[in-house]
A and B are shown apart, each in its own frame.
Chain A
Amino acid sequence: MSETFTFVIDDKEIEGCFGQTILEAAEEAGVYIPRLCHLKGLTPFGSCRVCTCMVNGRAMAACTQPAAPGMIVENASERVTEIRKSLVEMLFVEGNHFCMFCERSGDCELQGLAYRFGIAAPRYPYLFPERDLDASHDDIFIDRNRCVLCGRCVRASREKDGKHVFGFVGRGPAKRVQVNAEAALAETKVAVTDEAVAACPVGAILKKRTAYRVPVGERRYDHEPIGSDIEKRRTAAAE
């Protein structure tokens, strides 16, 4: 086993080992650090910034920052939560998210974060961008209106599926997810069983004909806030 050390998150002593990020060490100890672009098993990306923590007084992304002995991490403080809420709201206004008629509602990580943070409506004006849809594939469709540019599909396709179905094009506010083809998804090697398809945290990459298999009201975040599974580990360990 690799060497361990301790550090502190919100006054609680946490055990970490070398090579772990702050987020990973926290998760193992049952401390949930909110995240969106992070997905276990993929190379950390650091784009959404929702996992921002104050580390020894400086803002850092917990999903990319290695844990180190003696670190003092602020995770659930008011100022950190305020930053995260602001980021989630930015993601809402940047795209076109109409949760009430989105088939991912209740199972959407972005929406789950908003519930968890008690965001009723974003404080920022909606930007109403023009984004397109790609329904060319028999089993999968892409709705870029809901894409949060987390790069999970890009990484999963490359790292898990051994394909390169997705990538980013454009820069700044014009950045968007593109498929590895002249025109549309149907021309790529994507398969409905690809990890890349399952990796999307929101309703931007969806499997066709599965929409209401799990009824509204019985979905992942309908009863418990996002992150509860991680936090339960801690209560379980304490018992």
Chain B
Amino acid sequence: MPTATFRIWRGDITGGKFCDYRTDVAEGMVVLDAIHRVQAEQVPDLAVRWNCKAGKCGSCSAEVNGMPRLMCMTRMNQLPIDAPITVEPMRAFPLIKDLVTDVSSNYRAKQRITPFKPRPPDAADGTWRMAQEDVDRIQEFRKCIECFLCQDVCHVLREHRLHEQFIGPRLLVHVAALEMHPLDIESRAEELRTVHGVGYCNITKCCTKVCPESITITDNAIIPLKERVVDECYDPLTKLFRIFRPARAPEAPG
């Protein structure tokens, strides 16, 4: 059986370093399997997150040979094993230990976004009617598994560490899903600009390139949102119109 060297980041907030571990590589293996093997045989306290092992939960995000990847979907046969394979935590987030980072800022950011609010039901039995095309339009955004790999590569978060000022691509996808939801009646244009920092995004498209769900984050989510912000917040006519629109739900969301 061939073997490979894994150069795994080990450490916590106080510091850390790469350590090398050799392990067997079996047919069909993914990087997460190798990490588990190292854990079971050599480093029992190695910290790593995972759940589904099938690319569905978005837990096992890390940087493999410098690329942000889901470890459970990264096949060993896609990597050259003659050189050490580096596995390190997502660098955009504060480290907890080894491959585990503190991603709680993403959860806090979501809490600041105005939640879904549907129009009144279409039918007497309290249900709605929607066309499949309308549903399909935002399916792309709802596929997001919250792996936060897009957040990891976004320079606003990674280099400038503006986690509290900019919600990042993942949460912009979330806002897009809400804004384009066939039933939703809220408008989030104002908060996108003032609270969520959509202006920080300069459309580099790095996020789109790494999304394991192939969501066209920049073109389909962020750019339309930016346009909406321009239309609603800066277009004087729309603005005027907004003033005369009846006040929305008084019980402002938490």
Whether A and B are associated in the same complex: the answer reads: no
